[in-house]
Amino acid sequence: MGISPVHARFNFFCSFHSLCGAIRAKLDQKRKKRELMSQLWQMTASEIAKAVRSKTISATEVTEAHLARIADINPKINAVVQEFPEEALQAARQVDDAIAKGEDPGPLCGVPVTIKVNVDQKGHATTNGITLQENLVAQDDSPVVSNIRKAGAVIVGRTNTPAFSLRWFTNNNLHGQTLNPRNRAITPGGSSGGAAAAVAAGLCAVGHGTDIAGSIRYPAYACGLHGLRPTLGRVPAYNSSAADRFIGAQMMAVSGPIARSIADLEISLAAMAAPDLRDPWYVPVPIGNRDFPKRAALTIAPDGMPVAEEVRKALINAAEKLKSAGWTVDEVDCPPMRRAAEINACLWMADTQFGAKDMIEREAEPDSQFVFEQMSRNAGEVGFDDLMHALQARVALVREWELFLQNYPVLICPVSGALPFSQQQDVSSEEAFAAMLEAQLTQRALPTLGVPSLCVATGEADNRPVGVQLVGLRYREDILLAAGLDIENAGAPPFAINPNWD
């Protein structure tokens, strides 16, 4: 029997309705994808990696969106100072190809990352912010860059640093000044100021930074972000473009991530900490499993350092958030910070006076010359006896801190005693520099000890970001990240921002 006209019309309308539904679904899918593309610069690294891995969006699309964001926003803030779009897109296509084959590219799958210009990235100049190294093109990746690539990340640019990576501000004669996207009147921090500004403005999801006296933690603090200084030896380091570092940098300088979520720091640390035998200081300790007593100490003003009221309130508030999450928090005095800061100055200035003084004179960059003069005056002339006594005193301090942190796996203390400084405040006068040095006591002290420390953004005060610092046992970054996550979950996590100024 044939189909009746009524049944034919019914079948037609069913097919038409089904077709319309499919079209609507496809249009809806396209609309959602357009919305997702427009929001990509606001997404965290963890969100991007999940979306790329699930094929919700491709690594190529993520990279294109962030390259467009760099083209649009970077001229305002000057965070990314070396760009290579085609190289980035090629890396993104490799990630997409791996996913198409059913492979997992790694924890940073398709995540846009920036690299600081003081570490080697093959084919690009390791300028360290100075004209003397404008053409110092790296022949190989440093271990941290190699590890970031192996983790599936896409490097979208290289970020600014002050000349010689010597300041808590980011300005130099070669690349110019970086502005803070949250407030152009204040420093983006330094020396990883370009990295933090890039993350804060959504030019990347994770910024690579280095830290010898606060250069990860302070930019994160100034730009309203989280920043992790890992344990010495956790992340391998080596620049084949230069001679090996002297003892101060060997014992205190580390690489680490700056990001907009604690989860992003966790996956970034896992990526950066992969083994590389080129660094003899590297220690292959597994990242902990968060099995620990939830006990913390609160020290509002270590060694009597001056602490602004806004910073004090942030510290107390963070302690209350941890208590609400089941932590026991005791307000106690922590072991000495001031002596540790003095040792930091001795070791760092011994390196600089011996190995970089001539370069600082030849570069003739006024800001770094002024800062070097002030830091040298603070440390004094470092002779053989001074260096030996500093190394001896360091051991006693490490022992005292290790015992303290066994009892309190987390210490809550200031990142800085002051809200983020105004641009160029450090070179405005000798008095201003001295006051700033005192406010940065904890940043200078902790690298001496080799312990990990974490800047956790907690909000704003007086139109300037504010946060707290968490300090923990060596190789127990997992404890700091767990505490940081509890603070983040009880507040408002950092977000990417449009620098809305003329």
For 4-54, give the DSSP string: PHHHHHHHHHHHHHHHHHHHHHHHHHHHHHHHHHHHGGGS-HHHHHHHHHT
Active site (catalytic) residues: 116, 191, 215
Element of type H or E holding 443: helix 441-449
Run of H or E residues at 112: strand 112-116
Predicted local distance difference test score (pLDDT) of residue 501: 73
Encoded tokens for 38: 């427009």
CB 114 within 8 A of CB 157: yes
Spatial distance between the Cα atoms of 138 and 127, rounded to a whole number of angstroms:
10
Mapped onto helix, strand or coil, the DSSP state of residue 487 is: helix
For the chain, give every domain's residue range: 39-489
Helices (H), 384-429: 384-407
- Distance from CA of residue 234 to its chain's centroid? 15
Amino acid, single-letter form, for residue 220: A
pLDDT digits over 179-233, tens only?
Answer: 999 999 999 999 999 999 999 999 999 999 999 999 999 999 999 999 999 999 9
Task: State yes or no: pLDDT of 1 exceeds 50.
Answer: no
pLDDT at position 76 is 97
- pLDDT, mean over the chain: 94
Evaluate whether 314 touches 466 at the Cβ level (below 8 Å): yes
Q: What is the pLDDT of residues 114-167, one digit of tens each?
A: 999 999 999 999 999 999 999 999 999 999 999 999 999 999 999 999 999 999
Asked if CATH classification 3.90.1300.10 holds for the domain at 39-489, the reply, yes or no, is yes
Instruction: Tell me what pLDDT residue 288 has.
Output: 84
Contact yes or no for 297/303 (Cβ under 8 A): no
Residue-wise pLDDT for 75-99, tens only, equals 999 999 999 999 999 999 999 999 9
